[in-house]
């Protein structure tokens, strides 16, 4: 099936009892109404703080535009509602396990409804950008690509080293949730995960897209630039877009989201054409 032949799409809202979190979890899926015969790539759409699976409703037109233009191959896009406080896409030692929900339990559930390709892609905004990068760097063998817009990553690799300007309000809550000791913090730190798994990230050829506005109100550009420099030092190939005059979620946001989805589309089309989706 050619992407331009996709036609109508279905957006569904569903709820299930998740073993990984012990809670009822709402999620949305967006997919072509008529599915092709071959396996479909899965795009896990990770929403930002204080949001929910309704984030996929807002992004629907951008995904559909990418299908209509041929930028994106037929795919299943899924977004699970994940809390901010006590969530943050983190697996807590005593539970709940929100990252496992997104990268393990939800894809298994979707595989019972759709024929999915063996590797997925991640698309995340803000808190979801952190979740996408941490999941991809932790499990590079599971993902073809990750696109992170305004990711919540800090310009430091220990909790105490994060400057006060980079942890206002809920960002300080995330910094604390990442772990109370050095080992726990490193296990949730995007930078530490990149260092630990650099060889695997390179070997798996994980495709990485990072985008942040230079005028981000939460100073997230500091952490994005830090990550860019770290990845360069580790010889990990990636695309870094430092957007002048752009804030966190302003008038620049739609075009930036379109660029991120286009990046994922290019990677997924290459996988489709090479036969690696089978």
Q: Please give the chain's pLDDT, 278 residues, in tens.
A: 444 567 799 999 999 999 999 999 999 999 999 988 889 999 999 999 999 999 999 999 999 999 999 999 999 999 999 999 999 999 999 999 999 999 999 999 999 999 999 999 999 999 999 999 999 999 999 999 999 999 999 999 999 999 999 999 999 999 999 999 999 999 999 999 999 999 999 999 999 999 999 999 999 999 999 999 999 999 999 999 999 999 999 999 999 999 999 999 999 999 999 988 88
Q: Is the dihedral of CA 70, 72, 76, 80 positive or negative?
A: negative
pLDDT at 3: 47
In the chain, the number of structural domains is: 1
CA separation for the pair 159, 150 (Å, rounded) = 20
CB-based contact 110:169 (threshold 8 Å): no
The two structure tokens encoding residue 97: 């396990």
pLDDT at 38: 86
CA separation for the pair 127, 263 (Å, rounded) = 20
HEC secondary structure over the chain: CCHHHCCCEEEEEEEEEECCCCEEEEEEEEEECCCCCCCECEEEEECCCCCCCCHHHHHHHHHHHHHHHCCCCCCEEEEECCCCCCCCCCECCCCCEHHHHHHHHHHHHHHCCCCECCCEEEEEECHHHHHHHHHHHHCHHHEEEEEEECCCCCCCCCHHHCCHHHCCCHHHHHHHHCCCCHHHHHHHCHHHHHHHCHHHHHHCCCEEEEEEECCCCCCHHHHHHHHHHHHHHCCCCCEEEEECCCCCCCCCHHHHHHHHHHHHHHHHHHHHHHCCCC
In terms of residues, how long is the chain?
Answer: 278
Q: Which domain holds residue 234?
A: 3-274
pLDDT at 1: 40
Query: Which CATH number do you get for residue 208?
Result: 3.40.50.1820
């Amino acid at each position: 099936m050619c992407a331009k032949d996709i036609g109508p799409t279905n957006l569904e809202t569903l709820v299930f009892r998740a073993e990984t979190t012990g809670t009822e979890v709402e999620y949305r899926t967006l997919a072509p109404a008529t599915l092709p015969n071959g396996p479909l790539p899965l795009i896990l759409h990770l929403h930002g703080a204080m949001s929910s699976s309704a984030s996929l409703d807002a992004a629907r037109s951008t995904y559909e535009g990418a299908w209509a233009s041929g930028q994106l191959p037929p795919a299943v896009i899924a977004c699970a509602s994940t809390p901010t406080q006590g969530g943050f896409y983190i697996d807590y030692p005593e539970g709940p396990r929100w990252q496992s929900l997104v990268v393990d339990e939800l894809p298994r559930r979707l595989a019972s409804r759709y024929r999915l390709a063996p590797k997925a892609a991640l698309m995340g905004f803000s808190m979801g950008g952190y979740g996408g990068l941490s999941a991809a760097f932790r499990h590079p063998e599971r993902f073809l690509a990750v696109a992170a817009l305004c990711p919540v990553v800090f310009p430091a690799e220990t909790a105490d080293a994060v400057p006060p300007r980079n942890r206002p309000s809920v960002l300080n809550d995330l910094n604390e949730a990442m772990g109370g000791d050095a080992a726990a913090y490193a296990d949730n730190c995007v930078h530490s995960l990149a260092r630990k798994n650099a060889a695997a990230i390179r070997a798996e050829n994980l495709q990485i897209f990072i985008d942040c506005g230079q005028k981000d109100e939460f100073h997230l550009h500091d952490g994005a630039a830090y990550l860019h420099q770290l990845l360069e030092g580790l010889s990990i190939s990636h695309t870094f877009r430092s957007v002048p005059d752009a804030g966190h979620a302003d008038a620049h946001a739609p075009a930036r989201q379109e660029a991120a989805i286009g990046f994922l589309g290019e990677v997924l089309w290459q996988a489709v054409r090479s036969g690696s989706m089978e």
